[in-house]
């Protein structure tokens, strides 16, 4: 089975500096493989090992996503090879644009049976791109996938949905997005990190891909910093638990919160 894992090299917005105007400075937020994406790497590796297949990492974005560090970070996590589309035009691309480029790359890779992705990215946190990708490819796209195994001619997919667990028989090709806790990803060891340097990386040129033009553009009219985020706390010392508890209860009563 040929499996593509679509993943994101993304900054953690926790480390962003947000001005009072709502302008965001991400320069201090170091990018990394997005928190939940290693779950997809691990699922893909196990499925490929069970079926005798290949795992191809795929990421698209601005030029900063393709560095020696970003390549190694992905390739040390169970991938066989990596495909990258890095272009200035994709710097602040919306999710649908990213999905359209991912789809073009999946087609360029060719004969793909399955695209796996993580739950949602650490920066946008919408869980939308894999499902839009499925839409572009015209394949079935399922999120909330907690387990996947190969069965004759297709996949057996277990999903963790609000109403309970469901099992779905899915023909390939398909796009699946994993839950955050589908599997525990392996930790890259020294051998994996050294081995990563020897794995092939293919850079696809955006201009050479068959990507249709966007059907709408986004214009930011105004930005603001949301209220309620930063607060100034009155701190009580809990080394005397009963004292701190009494002080806190008193303060909450005074604030009308009890």
Partner 1 sequence: MNSAQSWIVVADDTAASGLVDLARSVGDEVVAVVAGRREVASSLASAVDRVLWLGEPDQAPVEAYGPAVAAVVAQATPRTVIGATSPGGRALLGAVAAALRVPVLAGVSALEADGDQVVVTRSVLGGIAEHRTAVQGGTTVVAVDPGGAVAGDGDLAPLEELAVTPLAATVTEVRPAAVAGADLGGARTVVGVGRGLKAREDVALVSDLAAALGGELACSRPLAEGVDWLPKERYIGISGQHIAPDLYLALGISGQLQHMVGVRGAKVIVAVNSDKNAPVFSQCDFGVVGDMYEVVPALTAALGTGS
Ligand X SMILES: Cc1cc2nc3c(=O)[nH]c(=O)nc-3n(C[C@H](O)[C@H](O)[C@H](O)COP(=O)(O)OP(=O)(O)OC[C@H]3O[C@@H](n4cnc5c(N)ncnc54)[C@H](O)[C@@H]3O)c2cc1C
Which of 46, 80, 81, 160 binds partner 1 (CB under 8 A)? It is 160
C-alpha 236/C-alpha 220 separation (Å) is 42
Task: Closer to ligand X by CB, 214 or 238: give it.
Answer: 238
Nearest to 109 by CA among 132, 79, 152: 79
C-alpha 86/C-alpha 96 separation (Å) is 16
Q: Which of residues 28-47 bind ligand X (CB under 6 A)?
A: 35-36
| R_g of the chain computed on alpha carbons | 22
Q: Which of residues 82-121 bind ligand X (CB under 6 A)?
A: 120
Which of 99, 104, 117, 204 binds partner 1 (CB under 8 A)? It is 99
C-alpha 22/C-alpha 141 separation (Å) is 34
Task: Closer to ligand X by CB, 35 or 192: give it.
Answer: 35
Q: Which of residues 116-145 bind ligand X (CB under 6 A)?
A: 120, 122, 125
Q: For residue 218, which phi and psi values (nearest 5 degrees)?
A: -105, 135
C-alpha 35/C-alpha 128 separation (Å) is 16
235 binds, among partner 1, ligand X, none (CB under 5 to 8 A by kind): partner 1
Per-residue mark of binding to partner 1, 111-130 (x: CB under 8 A): --------xx-xxxxxxx-x
24 binds, among partner 1, ligand X, none (CB under 5 to 8 A by kind): partner 1
Tokens of 178: 């994993």
- Chain contacts with ligand X (rule: CB under 6 A): 35-36, 120, 122, 125
């Amino acid at each position: 089975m040929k499996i593509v894992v679509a993943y994101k090299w993304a900054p953690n917005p926790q480390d962003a500096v947000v001005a009072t105007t709502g302008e965001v400075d991400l320069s201090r937020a170091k990018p990394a493989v997005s928190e939940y994406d290693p779950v997809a790497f691990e699922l893909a590796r196990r499925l490929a090992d069970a079926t005798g297949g290949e795992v191809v990492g795929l990421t698209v974005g601005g030029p900063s996503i393709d560095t020696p560090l970003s390549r190694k970070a992905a390739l040390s996590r169970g991938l066989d090879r990596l495909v990258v589309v890095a272009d200035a035009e994709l710097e602040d691309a919306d999710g649908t644009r990213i999905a359209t480029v991912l789809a073009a790359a999946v087609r360029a890779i060719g004969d793909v049976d399955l695209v796996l992705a993580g739950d949602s990215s650490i920066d946008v946190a919408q869980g939308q791109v894999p499902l839009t990708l499925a839409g572009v490819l015209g394949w079935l796209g399922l999120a909330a996938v907690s387990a996947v195994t190969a069965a004759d001619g297709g996949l057996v997919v277990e999903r963790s949905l609000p109403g309970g667990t469901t099992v779905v028989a899915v023909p390939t090709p398909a796009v699946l997005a994993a839950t955050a806790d589908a599997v525990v990803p392996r930790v890259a060891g020294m051998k994996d990190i050294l081995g990563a340097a020897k794995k092939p990386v293919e850079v696809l040129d955006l201009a050479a891909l068959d990507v249709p033009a966007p059907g709408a553009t986004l214009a930011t009219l105004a930005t603001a910093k949301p209220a309620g985020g930063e607060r100034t706390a009155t701190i009580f010392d809990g080394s005397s638990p009963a004292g701190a508890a009494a002080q806190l209860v008193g303060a909450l009563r005074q604030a009308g919160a009890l």
